[in-house]
Amino acid sequence: MRIGNASGFYGDRFSAVREMLTGGPLDVLTGDYLAELTMLILGRDRMKDPDRGYARTFLRQMEDGLGLALECGVKVVVNAGGLNPRGLRAALVELASRLGLDLAVAHVEGDDLLDRAGELGFGEPLTANAYLGAWGIAECLRGGADVVVTGRVTDASLLVGAAAAHHGWGREDYDALAGAVVAGHVLECGAQATGGNYSFFTELTRDGHDLSRPGFPIAEVHADGTSVVTKHEGTGGAVTVGTVTAQLLYEIAGARYPGPDVTTRFDSVELEQVGPDRVRVSGATGEPPPPQLKVSLNRLGGFHNQVEFVLTGLDVAEKAALARAQLDAALAVKPPAEVRWTLARTENADAGVQEEASALLRCSVKDPDPKVAGRAFSGAAVELALASYPGFHVTVPPSDAAPYGVFTASYVDAKQVPHVAVLSSGEQVAIAPPSEFRELEPVFGPVLPEPLPDPLPDGPTRDAPLGRIAGARSGDKGGDANIGVWVRSDQAWRWLAHALTVDELRRLLPETADLPVRRHVFPNLRAVNFVVEGLLGEGVAARARFDPQAKAVGEWLRGRAVEIPEVLL
């Protein structure tokens, strides 16, 4: 069956639904609208109006897409229900009636644990949602639904549920389920699988691929769980072993990838280019899932504000020191709970453009009191305008403080979480938890030996950026960052597996030097994956650093110089 994706996040390309429905044959169209930050946004929406809490963008897309999907015989499965899948279902039913369409809409619920947060030991969060699996989706589709909307399910479950319903898989068909999880993981971020955000994008454009508007990915999922990743013919971008590898490494940790229905062994996955824009994904093996479900918790952490001072020309360090001393002194009477300073030395000597002669000094503050982080901080910064370093100005005037959120992950016994498929008829079907569990264990120990290839023989080396031979993709999981690094030949893998150790990563990325770092090895992908704990503080919504979702940490690493064997260059 052909399963496509039309959304990788809340705010992705609006026209993708129409493009996917009109671009070629599909059986199912999925869309991922939920991220950790999105749940916070939807939680704040629900505070303002209890009838909200779902991704309204999807509803607008369906004004055009519902008729097209019915005409093409394409089922639609999305997690756009967010915190209110029942509300989104009602809105879709109303929309279908207004459009004169005979539409069967079902939804999945049970993930929202907010009313039980205290009982479960979660405190008083703004949102509390368990990651459900695929079987509620499968039940809705088997019940005849044209559209299935869910709340917080795992991203891959959208594809897994559709494939399980179509192929008739059982709860213990672990290898097939694992293969579908891998395909779902490739599809979940949309165009990231078709050339978007790809380290070697210059090679794709050199080879004639148009990256100005990459098409969205499709997985042709077979009955055994293997798949071929592709895209509609004639769309932009490219599907290569490299683009699929990059997405496989995105936001994972070790070789065992836990989920509510199956634990997938990512170290068994094999990729093969089987044609233009066609990559076969095979070899995935599955194991029983862990006994606990992950729970996404969001709470309001307080208020945030910042100011960016522009430092131009000479004496940048001295100018930064003066501004910092002045503002610190002004805030000393009632300092914010957290004050963070960063200096980005972006200036060039003897620059012909003023902006290229400038550095940025950023001061970020957080406090439970909006007045302390707002008016008091902004006023103190503005008052320096005529009394500080020469050339004083800021990027934008400081303003009132904005609320920020904090994401944390917790866990709950899977048997304590209801999982309910509400069919298009209104019938409610309880989805039983798995009958078999297995505690999650690391595949390899924390130290060597690991299953590494023989190192390259000694030879001449050259100082060059790591990215000359290695690709990378990085992302966030709460306050942690993952950095997946891969190479494209067995020879390069023999070097990378031994050269890019935890100690070397800490040397290349000094921000990680004092943080816990774990390395995981994926020989089939010629890749290593690093998980850096705490790099992002309390998560993206807390805005702890310049790149709060670690999207570019991998590219920072690729830009760092290392001693690379000349034979690889």
**450 vs 259, which has greater pLDDT?**
259
Domain of residue 334 covers: 301-406
Residue 170: partners with Cβ closer than 8 Å, 6 or more residues away: none
Does the residue 229 lie in any domain? yes
List the one residue out of 548, 567, 535, 355 whose CA is nearest residue 456: 567
Contact in structure between 517 and 531 (CB atoms under 8 Å): yes
For residues 518 and 493, membership in a common domain is answered with yes
Contact in structure between 219 and 247 (CB atoms under 8 Å): no
Q: Residues 463-495: pLDDT tens digits?
A: 999 999 999 999 998 899 999 999 999 999 999
Q: Residues 493-505: pLDDT tens digits?
A: 999 999 999 999 9
Does the residue 125 lie in any domain? no
What is the phi-psi region of residue 203: left when phi exceeds 0, alpha when psi lies from -120 to 50, beta otherwise?
alpha
Q: Give the Cα-Cα-Cα angle 22, 27, 30 (nearest 5 degrees).
A: 80
For residues 357 and 258, membership in a common domain is answered with no
Does the residue 210 lie in any domain? yes
Query: What is residue 526's predicted lDDT score, i.e. its pLDDT?
Result: 97
Query: What is residue 450's predicted lDDT score, i.e. its pLDDT?
Result: 59
- Quote the number of domains for the chain: 3
Kindly state the greatest CA–CA separation across the chain: 73
Contact in structure between 256 and 443 (CB atoms under 8 Å): yes
What is the rounded average pLDDT of the residues 384-406? Answer: 93
For residues 465 and 559, membership in a common domain is answered with yes
What is the rounded average pLDDT of the residues 411-425? Answer: 97
CATH number of the domain residue 392 falls in = 3.30.70
For residues 271 and 313, membership in a common domain is answered with no
- One-letter-per-residue 3-state SS of 538-560: CCHHHCCCCCCCCCCHHHHHHCC
Give the three-state DSSP class for 331.
coil
Average pLDDT of the chain to the nearest whole number: 95
Contact in structure between 194 and 238 (CB atoms under 8 Å): yes
For residues 202 and 245, membership in a common domain is answered with yes
For residues 194 and 265, membership in a common domain is answered with yes
Judged by average pLDDT, the poorest of 109-123, 331-345, 423-437, 536-550 is 536-550
Query: What is residue 546's predicted lDDT score, i.e. its pLDDT?
Result: 85
Contact in structure between 451 and 521 (CB atoms under 8 Å): yes
Whose structure tokens read 């503002």? 327
Contact in structure between 391 and 340 (CB atoms under 8 Å): no
Query: What is residue 343's predicted lDDT score, i.e. its pLDDT?
Result: 96
For residues 277 and 312, membership in a common domain is answered with no
Query: What is residue 90's predicted lDDT score, i.e. its pLDDT?
Result: 97
List the one residue out of 56, 40, 294 whose CA is nearest residue 157: 294
pLDDT at position 143 over 70: yes
Does the residue 482 lie in any domain? yes
What is the rounded average pLDDT of the residues 507-523? Answer: 96
List the one residue out of 267, 254, 265, 253 whose CA is nearest residue 289: 265
Does the residue 395 lie in any domain? yes
For residues 366 and 280, membership in a common domain is answered with no
Does the residue 417 lie in any domain? no
For residues 263 and 313, membership in a common domain is answered with no
For residues 475 and 562, membership in a common domain is answered with yes
pLDDT at position 283 over 90: yes
Contact in structure between 323 and 384 (CB atoms under 8 Å): yes
Boundary-marking domain end, from 343, 372, 406: 406
Instruction: Kindly report whether the peptide bond that precedes residue 449 is cis, defined as omega within 30 degrees of 0.
Output: yes
pLDDT at position 543 over 90: no
Q: How confident is the model at residue 452 (pLDDT cuts 50, 70, 90)?
A: confident
Judged by average pLDDT, the poorest of 10-24, 42-56, 210-224 is 42-56
What is the rounded average pLDDT of the residues 33-42? Answer: 90
Residue 186: partners with Cβ closer than 8 Å, 6 or more residues away: 193, 217, 219, 229, 244, 247, 248, 281
Boundary-marking domain end, from 237, 267, 289: 289
Query: What is residue 478's predicted lDDT score, i.e. its pLDDT?
Result: 87
Contact in structure between 129 and 112 (CB atoms under 8 Å): yes
List the one residue out of 29, 36, 28 whose CA is nearest residue 10: 36
pLDDT at position 532 over 50: yes
Share of the chain above pLDDT 90, in %: 92
Does the residue 430 lie in any domain? no
Q: How confident is the model at residue 37 (pLDDT cuts 50, 70, 90)?
A: confident
For residues 277 and 342, membership in a common domain is answered with no
Distance CA 209, CA 474 (A): 23
pLDDT at position 200 over 60: yes
pLDDT at position 445 over 50: no
Query: What is residue 36's predicted lDDT score, i.e. its pLDDT?
Result: 82
Query: What is residue 447's predicted lDDT score, i.e. its pLDDT?
Result: 41
DSSP string, 34-59: --HHHHHHHHHHHHH-TT--S-HHHH
Boundary-marking domain end, from 223, 255, 289: 289
Contact in structure between 207 and 227 (CB atoms under 8 Å): no
pLDDT at position 448 over 70: no
For residues 245 and 313, membership in a common domain is answered with no
Does the residue 150 lie in any domain? no
Query: What is residue 443's predicted lDDT score, i.e. its pLDDT?
Result: 65
Distance CA 263, CA 270 (A): 17
